[in-house]
Structure 1
Amino acid sequence: MTNSRHNFNEIAKPETDKPKYPPPFSLRLTYEERARLDAERGDKSVGAYIRERLFGNDAAPRKKRGNSPNLDKEALGRLAGALGQSRLSSNLNQLAKAVNTGSLPVTPETEAELQGACREVSEMRAALLVALGKAPGGRP
Protein backbone atom coordinates (compact mmCIF):
# COMPACT_ATOMS: atom_id res chain seq x y z
CA MET A 1 0.00 0.00 0.00
CA THR A 2 1.45 3.35 -0.93
CA ASN A 3 1.23 6.41 1.20
CA SER A 4 0.08 8.95 -1.37
CA ARG A 5 -1.28 12.40 -0.75
CA HIS A 6 -4.48 13.42 -2.47
CA ASN A 7 -4.90 16.79 -4.08
CA PHE A 8 -8.66 17.17 -4.28
CA ASN A 9 -8.30 20.32 -6.36
CA GLU A 10 -7.11 18.12 -9.20
CA ILE A 11 -10.18 15.87 -9.22
CA ALA A 12 -11.56 15.85 -12.74
CA LYS A 13 -14.82 17.70 -12.94
CA PRO A 14 -17.60 16.14 -14.98
CA GLU A 15 -18.62 17.76 -18.22
CA THR A 16 -21.87 18.95 -16.67
CA ASP A 17 -22.18 22.21 -14.77
CA LYS A 18 -22.64 20.31 -11.51
CA PRO A 19 -19.41 20.48 -9.47
CA LYS A 20 -17.90 17.28 -8.12
CA TYR A 21 -17.00 17.40 -4.46
CA PRO A 22 -14.28 15.38 -2.75
CA PRO A 23 -15.37 12.45 -0.60
CA PRO A 24 -16.58 13.33 2.89
CA PHE A 25 -14.17 13.29 5.82
CA SER A 26 -14.97 11.21 8.88
CA LEU A 27 -13.82 12.06 12.39
CA ARG A 28 -14.23 9.95 15.52
CA LEU A 29 -14.80 11.77 18.79
CA THR A 30 -15.12 10.59 22.36
CA TYR A 31 -18.48 11.04 24.05
CA GLU A 32 -17.05 13.96 25.98
CA GLU A 33 -15.66 15.62 22.83
CA ARG A 34 -18.99 15.19 21.04
CA ALA A 35 -20.90 16.61 23.99
CA ARG A 36 -18.58 19.63 24.03
CA LEU A 37 -18.97 20.07 20.26
CA ASP A 38 -22.77 19.93 20.54
CA ALA A 39 -22.76 22.42 23.41
CA GLU A 40 -20.50 24.90 21.60
CA ARG A 41 -22.17 24.74 18.18
CA GLY A 42 -25.53 26.07 19.39
CA ASP A 43 -28.08 26.13 16.56
CA LYS A 44 -25.47 25.61 13.83
CA SER A 45 -25.04 22.28 12.11
CA VAL A 46 -22.02 20.26 13.17
CA GLY A 47 -20.46 20.64 9.71
CA ALA A 48 -20.98 24.40 9.56
CA TYR A 49 -19.54 24.85 13.06
CA ILE A 50 -16.45 22.75 12.29
CA ARG A 51 -15.84 24.58 8.98
CA GLU A 52 -16.21 27.93 10.76
CA ARG A 53 -13.78 26.95 13.52
CA LEU A 54 -11.29 25.43 11.09
CA PHE A 55 -11.34 28.03 8.31
CA GLY A 56 -12.82 31.10 10.01
CA ASN A 57 -13.84 33.78 7.52
CA ASP A 58 -12.21 31.83 4.68
CA ALA A 59 -14.84 29.05 4.87
CA ALA A 60 -16.68 28.70 1.58
CA PRO A 61 -20.38 29.49 1.96
CA ARG A 62 -22.75 26.59 1.47
CA LYS A 63 -25.84 26.59 -0.64
CA LYS A 64 -29.04 26.97 1.28
CA ARG A 65 -31.98 24.83 0.35
CA GLY A 66 -34.74 26.81 -1.26
CA ASN A 67 -37.51 25.13 0.69
CA SER A 68 -35.92 25.36 4.12
CA PRO A 69 -38.36 27.22 6.31
CA ASN A 70 -37.39 30.00 8.68
CA LEU A 71 -38.87 28.50 11.82
CA ASP A 72 -40.48 30.63 14.47
CA LYS A 73 -39.96 28.15 17.30
CA GLU A 74 -41.99 30.15 19.82
CA ALA A 75 -45.00 30.32 17.49
CA LEU A 76 -44.67 26.62 16.66
CA GLY A 77 -44.60 25.83 20.37
CA ARG A 78 -47.75 27.89 21.01
CA LEU A 79 -49.49 26.22 18.08
CA ALA A 80 -48.47 22.73 19.21
CA GLY A 81 -49.73 23.53 22.71
CA ALA A 82 -53.04 24.79 21.35
CA LEU A 83 -53.46 21.66 19.24
CA GLY A 84 -52.59 19.47 22.20
CA GLN A 85 -55.16 21.15 24.44
CA SER A 86 -57.88 21.09 21.82
CA ARG A 87 -59.76 17.93 21.13
CA LEU A 88 -59.84 18.82 17.47
CA SER A 89 -58.82 15.47 16.02
CA SER A 90 -61.22 13.56 18.27
CA ASN A 91 -64.07 15.95 17.54
CA LEU A 92 -63.47 15.83 13.78
CA ASN A 93 -63.43 12.04 13.94
CA GLN A 94 -66.76 12.03 15.79
CA LEU A 95 -68.26 14.41 13.24
CA ALA A 96 -67.07 12.26 10.34
CA LYS A 97 -68.54 9.17 12.00
CA ALA A 98 -71.88 10.92 12.56
CA VAL A 99 -71.97 12.10 8.93
CA ASN A 100 -71.18 8.60 7.63
CA THR A 101 -73.90 6.99 9.75
CA GLY A 102 -76.41 9.73 8.93
CA SER A 103 -76.91 10.57 12.58
CA LEU A 104 -75.71 14.17 12.46
CA PRO A 105 -78.68 16.50 12.88
CA VAL A 106 -78.13 19.52 10.67
CA THR A 107 -79.66 22.39 12.58
CA PRO A 108 -78.74 26.05 12.22
CA GLU A 109 -76.86 25.70 15.51
CA THR A 110 -74.85 22.71 14.22
CA GLU A 111 -74.09 24.50 10.98
CA ALA A 112 -72.84 27.56 12.87
CA GLU A 113 -70.62 25.39 15.07
CA LEU A 114 -69.18 23.62 12.01
CA GLN A 115 -68.46 26.94 10.31
CA GLY A 116 -66.76 28.18 13.48
CA ALA A 117 -64.63 25.04 13.63
CA CYS A 118 -63.66 25.50 9.98
CA ARG A 119 -62.60 29.09 10.72
CA GLU A 120 -60.49 27.91 13.67
CA VAL A 121 -58.80 25.23 11.57
CA SER A 122 -58.14 27.82 8.87
CA GLU A 123 -56.63 30.20 11.46
CA MET A 124 -54.40 27.40 12.81
CA ARG A 125 -53.28 26.59 9.27
CA ALA A 126 -52.40 30.23 8.63
CA ALA A 127 -50.51 30.45 11.95
CA LEU A 128 -48.61 27.26 11.15
CA LEU A 129 -47.61 28.55 7.71
CA VAL A 130 -46.40 31.83 9.20
CA ALA A 131 -44.43 29.98 11.89
CA LEU A 132 -42.83 27.84 9.17
CA GLY A 133 -41.83 30.94 7.22
CA LYS A 134 -44.35 30.33 4.47
CA ALA A 135 -47.04 32.76 3.43
CA PRO A 136 -50.66 31.55 3.64
CA GLY A 137 -52.15 30.95 0.21
CA GLY A 138 -49.11 29.17 -1.25
CA ARG A 139 -46.94 32.24 -1.72
CA PRO A 140 -43.33 32.09 -0.38
Structure 2
Amino acid sequence: MRDAAKHRTHVTIRVSPEQRAQLERLAAGMPLGPFMLWRSLDPDSPPPRSRDKFPVKDHIAISQVLARLGDSRIANNINQLTRLAHTGSLPVSPETEDALRLVCRYLVEMRRLLLRALGLSDVPP
Protein backbone atom coordinates (compact mmCIF):
# COMPACT_ATOMS: atom_id res chain seq x y z
CA MET A 1 0.00 0.00 0.00
CA ARG A 2 1.26 3.47 -0.85
CA ASP A 3 2.28 5.73 2.04
CA ALA A 4 -0.23 8.41 1.06
CA ALA A 5 -3.06 5.88 1.01
CA LYS A 6 -2.21 4.76 4.57
CA HIS A 7 -2.79 8.25 5.93
CA ARG A 8 -6.04 9.09 4.17
CA THR A 9 -9.26 9.65 6.02
CA HIS A 10 -12.88 9.76 4.87
CA VAL A 11 -15.12 12.82 4.80
CA THR A 12 -18.83 12.31 4.28
CA ILE A 13 -21.34 14.97 3.32
CA ARG A 14 -25.05 14.71 2.74
CA VAL A 15 -26.55 16.33 -0.32
CA SER A 16 -29.98 16.29 -1.90
CA PRO A 17 -30.50 14.37 -5.14
CA GLU A 18 -30.66 17.70 -6.96
CA GLN A 19 -27.36 18.82 -5.43
CA ARG A 20 -25.72 15.51 -6.37
CA ALA A 21 -26.99 15.87 -9.94
CA GLN A 22 -25.57 19.40 -10.05
CA LEU A 23 -22.20 18.18 -8.74
CA GLU A 24 -22.13 15.40 -11.32
CA ARG A 25 -22.89 17.88 -14.10
CA LEU A 26 -20.11 20.16 -12.91
CA ALA A 27 -17.70 17.22 -12.60
CA ALA A 28 -18.40 16.30 -16.26
CA GLY A 29 -17.50 12.62 -15.89
CA MET A 30 -14.79 13.13 -13.29
CA PRO A 31 -15.30 11.09 -10.09
CA LEU A 32 -16.91 13.24 -7.41
CA GLY A 33 -14.19 12.77 -4.77
CA PRO A 34 -11.29 14.17 -6.81
CA PHE A 35 -13.58 16.82 -8.32
CA MET A 36 -14.71 18.10 -4.91
CA LEU A 37 -11.15 18.11 -3.54
CA TRP A 38 -9.92 20.06 -6.52
CA ARG A 39 -12.78 22.60 -6.46
CA SER A 40 -12.58 23.16 -2.71
CA LEU A 41 -8.80 23.12 -2.13
CA ASP A 42 -7.17 24.18 -5.40
CA PRO A 43 -9.72 25.58 -7.90
CA ASP A 44 -7.16 27.79 -9.67
CA SER A 45 -5.08 24.84 -10.80
CA PRO A 46 -6.00 22.64 -13.79
CA PRO A 47 -8.33 19.77 -12.89
CA PRO A 48 -6.55 16.62 -11.78
CA ARG A 49 -6.16 13.81 -14.24
CA SER A 50 -8.19 10.86 -13.19
CA ARG A 51 -9.68 7.78 -14.73
CA ASP A 52 -13.04 8.17 -16.34
CA LYS A 53 -16.03 6.33 -14.91
CA PHE A 54 -15.98 4.12 -18.01
CA PRO A 55 -12.32 3.49 -18.85
CA VAL A 56 -11.51 2.20 -22.31
CA LYS A 57 -9.65 -1.09 -22.14
CA ASP A 58 -8.13 -1.01 -25.60
CA HIS A 59 -7.85 2.32 -27.41
CA ILE A 60 -6.10 0.71 -30.37
CA ALA A 61 -8.90 -1.80 -30.97
CA ILE A 62 -11.59 0.88 -30.75
CA SER A 63 -9.59 3.12 -33.09
CA GLN A 64 -9.28 0.25 -35.57
CA VAL A 65 -13.04 -0.44 -35.45
CA LEU A 66 -13.74 3.26 -36.01
CA ALA A 67 -11.27 3.35 -38.92
CA ARG A 68 -12.81 0.26 -40.50
CA LEU A 69 -16.26 1.77 -40.13
CA GLY A 70 -14.97 4.87 -41.93
CA ASP A 71 -13.16 2.85 -44.61
CA SER A 72 -16.12 0.59 -45.26
CA ARG A 73 -18.34 1.18 -48.24
CA ILE A 74 -21.45 1.08 -46.04
CA ALA A 75 -22.28 4.76 -46.43
CA ASN A 76 -21.67 4.62 -50.18
CA ASN A 77 -23.79 1.47 -50.53
CA ILE A 78 -26.66 3.03 -48.59
CA ASN A 79 -26.39 6.14 -50.76
CA GLN A 80 -26.57 3.99 -53.92
CA LEU A 81 -29.61 2.11 -52.60
CA THR A 82 -31.28 5.41 -51.78
CA ARG A 83 -30.58 6.78 -55.26
CA LEU A 84 -31.93 3.62 -56.92
CA ALA A 85 -35.03 3.74 -54.74
CA HIS A 86 -35.66 7.41 -55.58
CA THR A 87 -35.36 6.77 -59.32
CA GLY A 88 -37.72 3.80 -59.15
CA SER A 89 -35.05 1.30 -60.22
CA LEU A 90 -35.30 -0.44 -56.88
CA PRO A 91 -38.77 -1.14 -55.60
CA VAL A 92 -38.84 -0.51 -51.85
CA SER A 93 -41.61 -1.54 -49.53
CA PRO A 94 -42.36 0.52 -46.41
CA GLU A 95 -40.78 -2.27 -44.34
CA THR A 96 -37.55 -2.11 -46.39
CA GLU A 97 -37.46 1.67 -46.05
CA ASP A 98 -37.90 1.39 -42.27
CA ALA A 99 -35.11 -1.20 -42.10
CA LEU A 100 -32.74 1.05 -44.07
CA ARG A 101 -33.52 4.01 -41.79
CA LEU A 102 -32.86 1.81 -38.76
CA VAL A 103 -29.48 0.70 -40.18
CA CYS A 104 -28.54 4.35 -40.73
CA ARG A 105 -29.45 5.24 -37.16
CA TYR A 106 -27.41 2.28 -35.85
CA LEU A 107 -24.37 3.35 -37.85
CA VAL A 108 -24.57 6.92 -36.59
CA GLU A 109 -24.96 5.67 -33.01
CA MET A 110 -22.03 3.23 -33.35
CA ARG A 111 -19.79 6.04 -34.59
CA ARG A 112 -20.91 8.34 -31.78
CA LEU A 113 -20.23 5.68 -29.12
CA LEU A 114 -16.81 4.83 -30.53
CA LEU A 115 -15.79 8.48 -30.65
CA ARG A 116 -17.01 8.99 -27.08
CA ALA A 117 -15.09 5.93 -25.91
CA LEU A 118 -11.94 7.45 -27.39
CA GLY A 119 -12.63 10.82 -25.77
CA LEU A 120 -13.28 12.40 -29.17
CA SER A 121 -16.95 13.25 -28.75
CA ASP A 122 -16.39 16.80 -30.03
CA VAL A 123 -15.35 15.54 -33.46
CA PRO A 124 -17.95 16.59 -36.08
CA PRO A 125 -19.78 13.77 -37.95
TM-score calculated relative to the size of structure 1: 0.35
Bigger CA radius of gyration: 1
TM-score calculated relative to the size of structure 2: 0.38
